A and B are shown apart, each in its own frame.
Chain A
Amino acid sequence: MNTITPPEYLPAVPQSRHFKAERFDFWSFFFSGLTGLATLFILGILAVILLNILINGWSAISWHFVSTIPKKDFFDAETTGVLPMIVGTTIRVLVMTIFVIPIGVITAIYLTEYASNISLTTRVIRAAVNNLAGVPSIVFGLFGLGFFINFVGKNLDAILHNPSAVWGQPALIWAALTLAVMTVPVVIVATEESLKAIPPGLREASLALGATKLETILRIVLPQALPGILTGGILAVSRAAGEVAPILFTGVAYYMASLPAILPINSWTWAITFLFCPHNRRTSSRRAPFFTPPFWCC
């Protein structure tokens, strides 16, 4: 063991007490271990859910399964396929993205770039965004049924003189719009955070060089904020792709027939999200799907 001998001009340090940065404290050790165990437990839950789905679902996944449109019996495990659901979910989410990204991004731009923080309008908009985030998903479903289908759809039918209900019934577009209303706060919050993270100096430099406010936003601010906006978009997509309640009444085909019957099917656990989304037979194409289920890991 190396010991450093102190120079002679210093008084001798008593060697009896060995300096230790941390005493061993039983309760500290105990509680630290407890919080560590909590972390492990949560990770364990995640692993068990994912592994269970993977192990039970693996044998059922085949090319036939993901690329077939069930002709007769949807619940015949031998011949069935989930292509309509994959296509339906994908189109629903894409349509939703087209609506939600512009509205969310523009609102966020207004809130961070144009509005003053204390004006009444800004406060009302912020309150609206917060309230929108606090509405349960099933209430969005009720709203979609009452507004989009029974109000907008029925009136469209009346204006266009359709003999039977074309717009005034559950449809892909209404489901997508309902989901767009639901995910607007997600996009706004994510975009706002990325806009706030851009240093004000960049904006000031741009303005000082003679660019207008609009040019600054379009050329300087938005390109910088793009990663954050994309994150918001992905969050919205992952929320919307996994959501069932808002589309129960607004866009899902034969939902009451499928809801009780789906539950006992053990081997396709992974497809359960899509099982609720067979929107529209016409939307399903015969082309090979490029879309595997990437949604619930986003």
Chain B
Amino acid sequence: MGIHRGHRARPLEWLAEKFIFLVSLSTILMVFLIFLFVAREALPVFFGETNTALVQKAIPVDEIDKHSPEQLQQYLELTPEQFKAMDKETLTTLMEVKVEAQNEIPEQFRDDPDAHANTTDWRYLLLPHKWADYAKPEFIWQPVGQIKKFNIIPLFVGTLKTTLIGLLFAVPLAVGAAIYVSQLARPRVREIVKPTIELLSGIPSVVVGFFALLVMATVLQKIFGYQTRLNAFVAGVALGFAVIPVIFSIAEDALTSVPRAYTQAALALGASRWQTAWQIVLPAALPGVFAATVLGFGRAIGETMIVLMVCSASVMSWSIFDSARSITTTIAAEMAEAVSGGPHYRIYSCLAHCSSQQRSSPT
């Protein structure tokens, strides 16, 4: 008998190895399923299969046989499964309801070109449009009301605003603290401070949002004296709180893992501790510090509850003292009102895709 025995000699070993392999494939399955199930909902928007026009050409009930099943399904805003499950009687009732709904639309919308427009078309999603009530073309996200306006640019701007404020606040603080803790502080201090700062990451984002909403918003308004109490600035600073422990702990690890010989050589040549940290250790650890920033950016973009609690009006504005709403926040706040399978729901799936990002290194 040789050293390499096959699965005949050790069936249990062989089975265990296959089992472990199969279980480890489950992570691939999870990612695949997430992609599949979110994409399945989002695709009709990309292919222009959704229609949100308020005034539509009604199909009279007795013409039900003249139209193909696909046309009827799209006309009744049903999913293929729903459509298949219905018998002809239900379909007729649905068509009656549809015709009645068309008759009940107020007169004022009959001549309104906006009411005839499919607002899930990419032109309305991405470009400014002059709506009937507005003086000039504008970006509007307003998914409730008679004419649903789905322009996603305000959400992107809101995400960008809160994320950038959060990073501008968090990166200098976290990297500065990481330099201090890893290079300048005494080992005793380091042993206490590092776990304490990492405790901050244990505070749920809801609690951070709650604190920002009740305490921080008032304090910051008193200091800066702006008009709106809840705005992108407060949300950004609160996001910073959530991001600081992520950036700090990774940057600190990167700074600590720089070989001690570098530090000792610099000190022996007469550099001060700060000069060593700034000119020798930080450049050596720069990739790690950069990775920490990128991870913090990812965390800030994906953060939902803080922005939801602190500021939540989808205003198109570049001012940091105006309200803002990020992409993930929009999904959390409005998903409950969206009908499953409807155009509104599908737009959220699109947004979900936009907010997922690729990561090159694990947290």
Whether B20 contacts A147 by the Cβ 8 Å rule is no
B74 within 8 A of A: no
Whether B177 contacts A256 by the Cβ 8 Å rule is no
A151 within 8 A of B: yes
Q: How many residues of B contact A (CB 8 A)?
A: 82
Whether A128 contacts B31 by the Cβ 8 Å rule is yes
Q: How many residues of A contact B (CB 8 A)?
A: 85
Whether B177 contacts A139 by the Cβ 8 Å rule is no
Whether B26 contacts A36 by the Cβ 8 Å rule is no
B200: chain A residues within 8 A (beta carbon): 42, 45-46
| A139-B202 contact, Cβ under 8 Å, with A42-B244, A53-B207, A129-B362 | no
Whether A245 contacts B305 by the Cβ 8 Å rule is yes
Taken together as a complex, chains A and B put the C-alpha atoms of A19 and B38 apart, in Å, by: 69
Complex interface: stretch among A10-18, A68-76, A268-276, A280-288: A268-276
- Chain A: CB-nearest residue to B34: A143
- What's the minimum C-beta distance from B66 to chain A, rounded to whole angstroms? 33
A111: chain B residues within 8 A (beta carbon): 24
Complex interface: stretch among A25-33, A79-87, A195-203, A223-231: A25-33
- What's the minimum C-beta distance from A60 to chain B, rounded to whole angstroms? 14
Whether B197 contacts A263 by the Cβ 8 Å rule is no
- What's the minimum C-beta distance from A265 to chain B, rounded to whole angstroms? 10
- Chain A residues numbered 40-57 whose CB sits less than 8 Å from any CB in chain B: 41-43, 45-46, 48-50, 52-53
A61 within 8 A of B: no
The interface bits of chain B over 278-313 (1 if a CB of A lies within 8 angstroms of the residue's CB, else 0) are 100000000000000000001001111100010000
- Chain A: CB-nearest residue to B353: A139
A91 within 8 A of B: no
Output the residue of A135, A189, A298 with the most chain B CB within 10 A.
Answer: A135
- What's the minimum C-beta distance from A239 to chain B, rounded to whole angstroms? 9
A34: chain B residues within 8 A (beta carbon): 176
B355: chain A residues within 8 A (beta carbon): 136, 138-139
- What's the minimum C-beta distance from A229 to chain B, rounded to whole angstroms? 15
B13: chain A residues within 8 A (beta carbon): 212-214
Whether B177 contacts A38 by the Cβ 8 Å rule is yes
Contact of A242 (CB < 8 Å), options: B185, B204, B213, B340: B204
Residues of B within 8 A of A (CB): 10, 12-13, 16-17, 19-21, 23-28, 30-31, 33-34, 37-38, 40-41, 172-174, 176-177, 179-181, 184-185, 193, 196-197, 199-200, 202-208, 210-211, 213-215, 241, 244, 248, 272-275, 278, 298, 301-305, 309, 328, 331-332, 335-336, 340, 348-349, 352, 355-363
Can you list 16 A-B pairs, Cβ within 8 angstroms, ordered by A? Answer: A27-B274, A31-B274, A39-B185, A42-B200, A103-B26, A109-B20, A111-B24, A121-B25, A124-B28, A137-B328, A139-B38, A140-B34, A143-B37, A150-B340, A214-B16, A263-B213
- Which are the 6 A-B pairs with shortest beta-carbon distances? A242-B204, A136-B302, A38-B176, A28-B274, A35-B180, A134-B359
16 more A-B contacts (CB under 8 A) besides A130-B358, A185-B363?
A49-B241, A102-B23, A115-B24, A125-B27, A130-B361, A132-B27, A139-B328, A139-B356, A142-B41, A143-B37, A143-B38, A213-B17, A214-B17, A242-B202, A242-B205, A296-B203
